[in-house]
C-alpha cells in the first residue's frame, strides 16, 4: 500500500505561481496546506532525467530533502509515436530560442513546426498519434516516494488551430474530438487532460482508498 500524505503542509516543487495556484485548489479540499518551493527559497535542481518519472522525482526529492517537508512535483510533455516519443522530456526545450538582441525566450510556433517538419520528413501519410503525459511524484524527507502517471492520447494536426491554452495546444487533437486543445473550452480541457488523469489517480490512491 502506498504511504499516505495525511493533512499538514506539502511543498509544491515549482517556482511557477500558476502551477502552485492550480495544485493548491486541487489539494486544498483534502486538508493540505500547499507551500511553493520558490517561497521557501529552495534551489531549482537541473532536470537531468531522460523520462518524465525521473525528472518529477528529481524535483520532488530535491524539495523534500532541502525543506524536510513532504513534497510534490510534476513533469509533463508531449510524446509523438512516429518520433519515438520525442520531444518527451525536452518538450519545453524545443521551444527555446535566443531572440535577436534579447533574453532567451520560448517560441511555441517554432517548436510545433519542428515536430511537424520531422513528421513530414518521415512521409506524407505518417501516423500522427501521440499523447500528452503528466507525472506527479510525491517524495517524503526519509526517501520514500509515490508516482502517479496521467496521459491524454490524441493526434497531431497542422496547421495550428485555436488561441486558447498554451504550449503545443494548437496542434494537439485529443482522442475522440475534432477540435485542438487550443479550440476547446479550458474547463473541458481540464476535465480530460493528462494533468486531470494524473491528479485523479493521486486523489483516488491518497484520499479515497
Residues in contact with ligand IMP by CB under 6 A are 74-78, 91-92, 132, 165-169, 181, 193
Shortest reach from residue 5's CB to ligand IMP, in Å: 21
Which of 75, 84, 185, 205 is the catalytic position? 75
Burial of 162 (0-12, 13-18, 19+ CB in 10 A): middle
CA distance 186 to 191: 9
Element spanning 11, H or E: strand 8-12
**Residues of the chain by 3-state class (helix, strand, coil), percent to 5:** 35, 25, 35
Q: Which is nearer to ligand IMP, 118 or 141 (CB)?
A: 118
Shortest reach from residue 208's CB to ligand IMP, in Å: 25
Shortest-Cβ-distance residue relative to ligand IMP: 167
What does each C-alpha distance from 194 to 4, 100, 131, 151, 154 come to in angstroms?
22, 35, 8, 4, 11
Has 93 been annotated as catalytic? no
Shortest reach from residue 38's CB to ligand IMP, in Å: 14
Shortest reach from residue 194's CB to ligand IMP, in Å: 7
Measured over the CA atoms of residue 45, residue 149, residue 198 and residue 51, the dihedral's sign is positive
What residues are annotated to the active site?
75
Amino acid at each position: 500500500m502506498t504511504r499516505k500524505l495525511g493533512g499538514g503542509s506539502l511543498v509544491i516543487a515549482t517556482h511557477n505561481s500558476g502551477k502552485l495556484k492550480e495544485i493548491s485548489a486541487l489539494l486544498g479540499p483534502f486538508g493540505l496546506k500547499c507551500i511553493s518551493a520558490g517561497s521557501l527559497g529552495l534551489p531549482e535542481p537541473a532536470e537531468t532525467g531522460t523520462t518524465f518519472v525521473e525528472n518529477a522525482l528529481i524535483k520532488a526529492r530535491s524539495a523534500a530533502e532541502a525543506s524536510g517537508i513532504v513534497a510534490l512535483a510534476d513533469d509533463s510533455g508531449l510524446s509523438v509515436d512516429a518520433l519515438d516519443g520525442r520531444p518527451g522530456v525536452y518538450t519545453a526545450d524545443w521551444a527555446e530560442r535566443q531572440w535577436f538582441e534579447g533574453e532567451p525566450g520560448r517560441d511555441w510556433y517554432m517548436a510545433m513546426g519542428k515536430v511537424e517538419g520531422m513528421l513530414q520528413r518521415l512521409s506524407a501519410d505518417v501516423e500522427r498519434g501521440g499523447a500528452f503525459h503528466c507525472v506527479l511524484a510525491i517524495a517524503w524527507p526519509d526517501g520514500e516516494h509515490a508516482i502517479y502517471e496521467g496521459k491524454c492520447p490524441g493526434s497531431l494536426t497542422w496547421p495550428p488551430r485555436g488561441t486558447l491554452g498554451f504550449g503545443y495546444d494548437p496542434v494537439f487533437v485529443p482522442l475522440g474530438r475534432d477540435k485542438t486543445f487550443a479550440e476547446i473550452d479550458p474547463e473541458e480541457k481540464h476535465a480530460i487532460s493528462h494533468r486531470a488523469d494524473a491528479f485523479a489517480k493521486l486523489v483516488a490512491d491518497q484520499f479515497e482508498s
